[in-house]
Amino acid sequence: MSRPSGPGPVAPSAGPGAPGGPDRPAAAPSVVRLGVVDSTQAVAFALAEQGAPDRTVVVAEHQTAGRGRRGRRWLDEPGASLLVSILVRPRLEVARWPLLSLTAAVATAEALTAAAGVAARLDWPNDVLVGGRKVAGVLLESRVGPAPVVVVGIGVNVAQTRFPPELAGLATSLALAAGRAVDREAVLAALLDRFDDWRDRLEREGFAPVRARWLALAAILGRRVTVEGRTGVAVDLDADGALVLVDGPVRHRVVAGELTGGGAEGLR
């Protein structure tokens, strides 16, 4: 793991229709920039143990052991991805921490639309798609204790022009989707701005505004999918973030699991 080049602020850009709020931090997040690391998540947790404050952000050029959901590896092309982990000292009860994952997905989709001009949509629970292909993903990990912390990891394919054969047709990048080069710094600034806004709104107003926005961006609604053996048409997101499936008279609530039949399946 390389050593940080030193924390430095990144001035966030104001996104269109930003929710904002009186409790939104006025100062820019502290950004720690790294070269090659094992995992930005691991670095963020290490910084948390050293007392790093809320909204410390770790950004790396490349990960050798990047983590995705459900224990999968997150593969990236050096210099072509935006690899971010945000340290959160949550002002929510522990049971509501998972809602930060859906919140981060909303923020990411809005940021990519603002910075790259693409029509970003959401797959459940927190994959970001463009044209039905995965362009970004969110990983939420937490630790409880005397100084509880949540680390929100976000990976965005920014500049890739090709993918391995097994990902062809399933993954895309902002450059491919937009048909032009996209500035990673602009994406980062928009991402941090939108995450601050939506996190503030979650903590002040509860999950309802996030849920409404997630549903407005959802690409999965109306599709027949299977999650952990339960099959049905995705019709809603419950107040606790569970996906609601309807199969004839049967209604399923799915809190977690492996989804097939949605968007870029197999990339979670």
| pLDDT tens digits for range 230-258 | 999 999 999 999 999 999 999 999 988 87
CA dist 130 → 43, 91, 157 (Å)? 29, 32, 11
Judge whether residue 53 has pLDDT over 90.
yes
| pLDDT tens digits for range 79-99 | 899 999 999 999 999 999 999
The answer as to CATH 3.40.50.170 being correct for domain 7-217 is: no
CA dist 43 → 68, 78, 132, 257 (Å)? 15, 18, 32, 27
The arrangement of strands across the sheet holding 149-157 comes to 7-9, 30-37, 56-63, 81-88, 149-157, 133-143, 127-130, 120-123
The whole-number pLDDT of residue 67 equals: 64
The whole-number pLDDT of residue 114 equals: 98
Contacts of residue 142, Cβ cutoff 8 Å, sequence gap at least 6:
94, 97, 148, 149, 150, 151
Cis check: omega of the bond before 164, within 30 degrees of 0: no
Residue 167 confidence class, pLDDT cut points 50, 70, 90: confident
- Distance of alpha carbon 155 from alpha carbon 83, whole angstroms: 5
Q: Give the number of other Cβ atoms within 10 Å of residue 260's Cβ.
A: 13
Parts of the chain belonging to CATH 3.30.930.10: 7-217
Contacts of residue 32, Cβ cutoff 8 Å, sequence gap at least 6:
4, 5, 6, 7, 43, 47, 56, 57, 58, 59
| pLDDT tens digits for range 130-140 | 999 999 999 99
Nearest C-alpha neighbor of 205 from the set 96, 89, 63: 96
The pTM of the full predicted model, rounded to 2 decimals, is 0.86
